[in-house]
Amino acid sequence: MKRKIELEKLDEEGYASLYVFNIDGGDYEYLKYYSEFENDKKVQWDFDVIDRRIEKILEDGAEDEHFRREGKAVKALPIETSLLRLYCYRISPKILILGNGGLKPRNKKEPEKNKTQNFPILNKYCETIRLIGDEIKLQIKSGKVIKKGNELIGLKPFIIDIPDD
């Protein structure tokens, strides 16, 4: 389904900038994630680890060692074993797009079932941020958006096709 995507810079304290996005003018996906899990006692430790990692990324940059790889250019936090995931797209070490995330329970008896594609909502979050990040990279390559330091200049809302649930 065709959806309107808007990105906004959330934070730029230090070396890197964080961008967030909304779909069709709704709430920013990262802020939905943050609101859902910031006071959830069963994942408080996991949430705090992710929050501290984001602070570190702002200071030092979005280097690969800060993330768990989740397929083509999509990254996840935290690196450590955790029930909670936050999906991100790394444009460069200075620019990171934060998406949404959620609980990813582990199946110890059948570890092959622990892949993101086995969790429909997480797979949708992962695929959505991949599509958005890929579009931003295309816009940079075509010159519509200019990557200058830790900023994306000329960023405008755009339409992409995001598969329905």
Q: Give 70-94 pLDDT, tens digit per residue.
A: 876 799 998 777 889 999 999 999 9
Q: pTM, whole model, 2 decimals?
A: 0.92
Backbone region of residue 82 per phi and psi (left: phi > 0; alpha: psi in -120 to 50; beta: other values)? beta
Q: What is the pLDDT of residues 151-160, one digit of tens each?
A: 999 999 999 9
pLDDT greater than 90 at residue 144: yes
Confidence tier at 105 by pLDDT (50, 70, 90): confident
- As to burial, measured by CB atoms within 10 angstroms (0-12 exposed, 13-18 middle, 19+ buried), residue 13 is exposed
